[in-house]
Amino acid sequence: MPIKDWPADERPREKLLLRGAQSLSDAELLAIFLRTGTRGKTAVDLARELLHDFNGLRALFEAEEAQFCQANGLGQAKFVQMQAVLEMSRRYLRERLKRGDVLSDPDAVRLYLLAKLRDQPAEVFACVFLDNRHRVIAFEELFFGTIDSASIYPREVVRRVMKHNAAAVIFAHNHPSGVAEPSQADERITQKLKDALALLDVRVLDHFVIGDQVVSFAERGLL
């Protein structure tokens, strides 16, 4: 049965307008993005098939262009649209992060860092530079490593802190394995950076490890 013949409160678009986007399933949200189905399949049917074939939304979002375009009902135009949607979401999170004191909206920090770092194929060490009111000055990816580790140089971190005239920082790095548990090496380098920045009277507010989840050093009592 075509979606237009479904009860109004079951059609994805109408359901979104009536109950909000959070009420929709992954398949219903994807169906709105797809707009149309294929021969013999509604957009919702096609969305369910794609989620099954890709094993979920995240894998679909991360798919390379060739893999994405080969899937039934997709193509280069949809790939371009998907990349645009993902980039808009990252920019929205960045703007939300920059609006005010990061300590008053810690979820904004987590979501932004998760969006920036979770899907990196190799380890990336990044820093959020803050002023004395804990407002964001800049975000920079500073060091890039292999699948296992990144070489982090305190002298370079100090140099970037001085360039931005930052009063505080938040560190973040990803674990490509998806396991966000801090390692002993993570703890050691965090302490070295904290000691180096203390000489400049710059506070380390937190260090987030990004995997399938986000782990906070501050919440773990590791700072």
Give pLDDT tens digits for 10-61: 788 888 988 898 898 999 999 999 888 888 888 888 899 999 999 888 888 8
Q: Which residue has the tokens 């000691």?
A: 195
pTM score, two decimals? Answer: 0.70
Question: Residue 146: which region, alpha, beta or left (left: phi > 0; alpha: psi -120 to 50)?
Answer: beta
Domain range summary for the chain, segments of one domain joined by +: 3-74, 100-220
How many angstroms separate the CA atoms of 103 and 142, rounded?
Answer: 23
CB neighbours (10 Å) of residue 90? 13
Cα distances (angstroms) measured from residue 12 to each of 82, 125, 139: 18, 40, 37
Residue pair 160/140 in contact (Cβ under 8 Å)? The answer is yes
pLDDT at 147 (0 to 100): 61
Q: Which homologous superfamily does the CATH classification assign to the domain defined by 100-220? A: Cytidine Deaminase, domain 2 (3.40.140.10)
How far does CA 124 lie from the centroid of its chain?
Answer: 13
DSSP 123: -
Question: What would the pLDDT profile of 48-105 be if each residue is shown by its tens digit?
Answer: 999 999 988 888 888 889 999 998 889 999 999 989 988 888 888 777 766 666 666 6
Instruction: Report, as an integer, the average pLDDT of 155-175.
Output: 95
